[in-house]
Amino acid sequence: MKITELTTLSKDQKHQVDDLIKQVKEFDQTYREPYLSNQFNYFPEMPTFFLALENQNLVGFMMLYADEEPDESVDVNIYVLPDKRRQGIGTKLLEAGKKVLHEYGYHDFNFYTEKSFLEKNPDFLTNTKLEIKEEDSEFQMCKTTADKFTIDSNLSVRILQESDLKTVIPMYCEAFDDVSIREAEQYLSEGIKSSTTLNYLLENEGVPAGLCSVDVGDKSYYLFGLLISQKYRNQGLGSKFIKEVMQILTARKALPFVIGVEQNNSAAYHVYQKVGFTTQTEIYNLKCKKR
């Protein structure tokens, strides 16, 4: 078996990865899609994608999402074809990934899986010596279509521009207090440049009031980084903003909508339910057990 390390995927490689992930999801009855881009990684030159090949056939895949400095943790996603499991492929991918991460100063890793996978594989945590970080679990919610909606006359939604960043970055850091100004600027600037990311700005009488980013995939729209400025909260703007964004996206191309919400964020979960999202899966963050 050969492991190939890459910073980006070619069109053919992405097609192979998509096919592998599709087989894995169908077998495990899981739903989460990895973000197949390194555009937000702290070190853009660091290998991000690891392909496990047998006779030029893709049998395993790993992605490293390292969007923070080396003293923070890295998200690791590993996929192995169902009929190739228990052959050490995942272990070899992880060994290759750890070697790269250590070279860049990373030593803390998070692994992701879903509730349905753990239910089908009850010995997985014991065999891998991993444990669930209960406080970091997340619900993935889905809505298949946008509802007809007319936004209030004082509200408007438009694409975020580079000239908006000076005003929007403080609002972003206020909403996500674990994100630095540098990180916020990187996320938003890269998102504006990206051909697969759309950033929508909500304005209340011309004043920035909210932000929503969308990863535009082939199969769905993934909404993330959704926020409402503190002074406009508890006024129903969140649900109105989401409804308008979904209408705009549907006019572009009709695809299902996906959004993630932390399991302890009951307020956001309620808003998404109110808009019509239903829970699709529960995603667990796994860490190595402390000795």
Residues 78 and 168 in one domain: no
In-domain check, residue 117 = no
Q: 209-222, pLDDT tens digit by residue?
A: 999 999 998 889 99
Q: Do residues 56 and 154 both lie within one domain?
A: no
Percentage above 90 pLDDT, the chain? 77
Write the CATH number for 26. Answer: 3.40.630.30
What is the per-residue pLDDT across 229-245, written as a single tens digit (0 to 9) for each? 999 998 999 999 999 99
Chain position carrying tokens 């197949």: 36
Residue at which a domain ends, from 60, 78, 107 = 107
Q: How many domains does the chain have?
A: 2
pLDDT computed for residue 178 by the predictor: 83
Burial environment of residue 234 by CB neighbours within 10 A (0 to 12, 13 to 18, 19 or more): exposed
CA dist 58 and 86 (Å) reads 16
* Statement to judge: residues 154 and 249 lie in one domain: yes
Distance CA 111, CA 94 (A): 11
pLDDT of residue 177: 84
Residues 103 and 150 in one domain: no
The verdict on residue 266 lying in a domain is no
* pLDDT for res 290: 62
Residue at 37 is within a domain:
yes
Residue 266 neighbours by CB distance under 10 Å = 10
**The two three-digit tokens of residue 136, written as one number:** 């970091």
Residues 168 and 90 in one domain: no
Q: Which residues contact 165 (CB under 8 A, 6 or more apart)?
A: 185, 188, 189
Average pLDDT over residues 147-154: 94
Q: Is residue 11 included in any domain, yes or no?
A: yes
Do residues 11 and 73 both lie within one domain? yes
Kindly state whether residue 10 falls inside one of the protein's structural domains. Answer: yes
Collapsing DSSP states into helix, strand and coil, what is residue 196? coil
Contact 202, 155 (CB under 8 A): yes
Query: pTM, whole model, 2 decimals?
Result: 0.87
Residue 129 resides in a domain: no
pLDDT score of 75 more than 70: yes
Q: Which residues have C-beta within 8 Å of that of residue 161, sequence separation ≥ 6?
A: 192
Residue 225 lies in a domain: yes
The average pLDDT across 114-125 equals: 92
Domain range for residue 18?
Answer: 2-107
The two structure tokens encoding residue 43: 């070190």
pLDDT tens digit string along 174-189?
Answer: 999 888 898 899 889 9
Strand pairing partners for 131?
287
Overall average pLDDT of the 240-254 stretch: 96
If asked whether residues 163 and 240 sit together in one domain, one would say yes
Query: Is residue 287 one of the residues assigned to a domain?
Result: no
pLDDT-based confidence at residue 30 (cuts at 50, 70, 90): very high
290 and 115 Cβ atoms separated by less than 8 Å: no
- Is the domain of 159 the same as that of 246? yes
- Gyration radius from the chain CA atoms: 20
